[in-house]
Structure 1
Amino acid sequence: MTVRITWKRVLAALLALALAGLAVGWSGAVNVAASSGHWPVTDWFLHWVMRNSVKTRSHFDAPKQPADATGLVSAAGHFAASCAVCHGAPGLGASPVARAATPPAPDLSVNAREWNDRHLFWILKHGVKFSGMPAWPAQDREDEVRRMVALVRRLPGMTPEMFAQLTGGAAAIAGSNRFETCAGCHGSDGRGRGQGDIPVLGGQRFEYLLASLKAYRTGDRHSAVMGNAVARLSEADMRALAARFAAMPGLGAPAGGSDPEAERIVREGLPDRELPACASCHAPNKPYPVLNGQKAAYVAGRLRRWRGDETVVDARKTHATMPVIARRIPEEMIDRLARYYAGQARN
């Protein structure tokens, strides 16, 4: 008997298969319980698809320099607060709750060896569907992702003592004391533990610190690290932390850099480029952050991130002034301005 294959029969077969699939899904016969685990073939297939996807997409969607080892303190602090509960960390086991997930989060002291830095960057930035691995909460903060890549790359050879040193010790990891948790990155003296990506908070204006904490919590200011750090802070917590750091010595000393061109921009601006004087906002008794004494690396990094924000075009429409101002600063003057405010001589 010969069976003729026609378009109607093909379409009818496909419709029958689709209806059968819907019927199985409607019946509840598919067991979605995490306690049941995956069949070995299912587990293999899902991981095979994931690995191929990561390798292909990271080739097109990862920077050529995906790791930055200059900010391991902030990365370690975020890892301890957000990632260790699932993945564990040197000297810290993963939560039993996280280990009961399907699939459980991998041990990065072993698993990280399977990926190169561009793969890790893509995974950290975009997350992985069906695995519980979230995307980076601040998608425009690739600088934070690069620092985390550098940390994860070092986890296989990192000792508990090394991890504790990066995070500021057991008190910072435990998170039982709000100030000690903040001091794990910012230092108990508010000077940022010598890290270029962590600003000096000591001596900063109370109002500015409080407004920044609130902006991080609402997402108006983007940072996965700080957003997670402030998520569980109460209004009273934020006010107490802002007051404590503001009362510390640190910022506010007169800028001591010896660079006449940088000083001109600070005091007069560049009228021909419609660049206002920095001191018109960043000066004593002004409602803007104190810059005198701030780390050069931090100031330069902030200016360059603003310059790179292509979504901000017109400050009159967006009410975001600094991205427009930062683009009017000549590129060759960014580091010099930052060093001037830090009190460093031109070099």
Structure 2
Amino acid sequence: MKRFIITLVVLCVVVIAGVGVFIVSGVYNIGADAHHTRPVYALMQALRERSIEHHAQGIVVPKLDDPQLILKGAGQYAAMCTGCHLAPGMAENEMRPGLYPKPPQLSKFRPDPREAFWVIKHGIKMSAMPAWGASHDDATIWSMVAFLQKLPDLSPAQYKDIVAKAPPDEDMDMHGDADHHPDAAEHQP
């Protein structure tokens, strides 16, 4: 038994030392244009999905079908999300091909509201997804979640219409969409 424990301890030390040498060597390419191996990608995918599920469990979802809440979320989405997640009828842009992992096109599916809230608020490490909770309150984040529930049902024309009706917000940069509101130039950062 004593020999087994010594062997186990030595094995653990060797594995830890090996991992340390691997990390310090820098041989693993973390460039966004060098995709992970299938096993590493599967591990990262499982870790991300389980972490989001776990942390979103206790979140209480408010009423999300309020038209004003959805309108506010439409404006927020147009200002902050379309560069990575696109919009109905929007073509790929220069940035998306260089993102890894590639952000989902949110007009193609309806995310779980609790999970969407958690991801928007906290972001995702080692991805381009920022933690919007650092600069936006929960009510604003819930408006984005409310809009995401409606987004898959919108045609390109309906999307443009709802964004045009969205309330102005001094914190939003419309990424050059100056016709979103007549006074959009006043709201530039």
Provide TM-score, normalisation by structure 2.
Answer: 0.80
CA distance in 2, matches of 1:66, 1:141: 17
Cα–Cα, structure 1 residues 94 and 68, in superposed 2: closer, same or farther, change >3 Å? farther
Shift of 1:66: 6.3
CA distance in 1, matches of 2:127, 2:50: 15
CA-atom RMSD, angstroms? 2.9
Partner SS, residue 168 of structure 1: helix
Q: Which amino acid is 1:20 matched to? A: G
Partner of 1:76: 74
2:121 counterpart of 1:125: yes
Larger Rg belongs to: 1
- The answer as to whether partners of 1:66 and 1:149 remain within 8 angstroms in 2 is no
Partner SS, residue 101 of structure 2: coil
Identity %: 24
Partner of 2:4: 5
CA distance in 1, matches of 2:78, 2:175: 9
Counterparts of 1:86-235 in structure 2 under 5 Å? 86-110=84-108, 112-113=109-110, 115-138=111-134, 141-168=137-164, 175=176, 177=178, 180-181=179-180, 183=181, 188=182, 230=188, 232=189
Instruction: Return the structure number with greater relative CO, CA threshold 8 A, min gap 6.
Output: 2
2:65 counterpart of 1:64: no
Superposed CA deviations along residues 97-155 of structure 1, whole A, max 9, x for unmatched, are 22321101011122x33x32222122221222222211124466111111101111111
- The answer as to whether partners of 1:66 and 1:117 remain within 8 angstroms in 2 is no
Shift of 1:30: 0.8
CA distance in 1, matches of 2:99, 2:46: 19
Cα–Cα, structure 1 residues 67 and 131, in superposed 2: closer, same or farther, change >3 Å? farther
Count of aligned positions? 180
Partner SS, residue 129 of structure 1: coil
Counterparts of 1:36-47 in structure 2 under 5 Å? 36-47=34-45
Q: Which amino acid is 2:119 matched to? A: I
Partner SS, residue 4 of structure 1: helix
Cα–Cα, structure 1 residues 30 and 66, in superposed 2: closer, same or farther, change >3 Å? farther
Superposed CA deviations along residues 244-267 of structure 1, whole A, max 9, x for unmatched, are xxxxxxxxxxxxxxxxxxxxxxxx
Counterparts of 1:309-324 in structure 2 under 5 Å? none
Q: Which amino acid is 1:67 matched to? A: L
Shift of 1:91: 2.1
CA distance in 2, matches of 1:86, 1:142: 22
CA distance in 2, matches of 1:33, 1:138: 26
Partner of 2:17: 19
CA distance in 1, matches of 2:183, 2:85: 31
Cα–Cα, structure 1 residues 138 and 174, in superposed 2: closer, same or farther, change >3 Å? closer
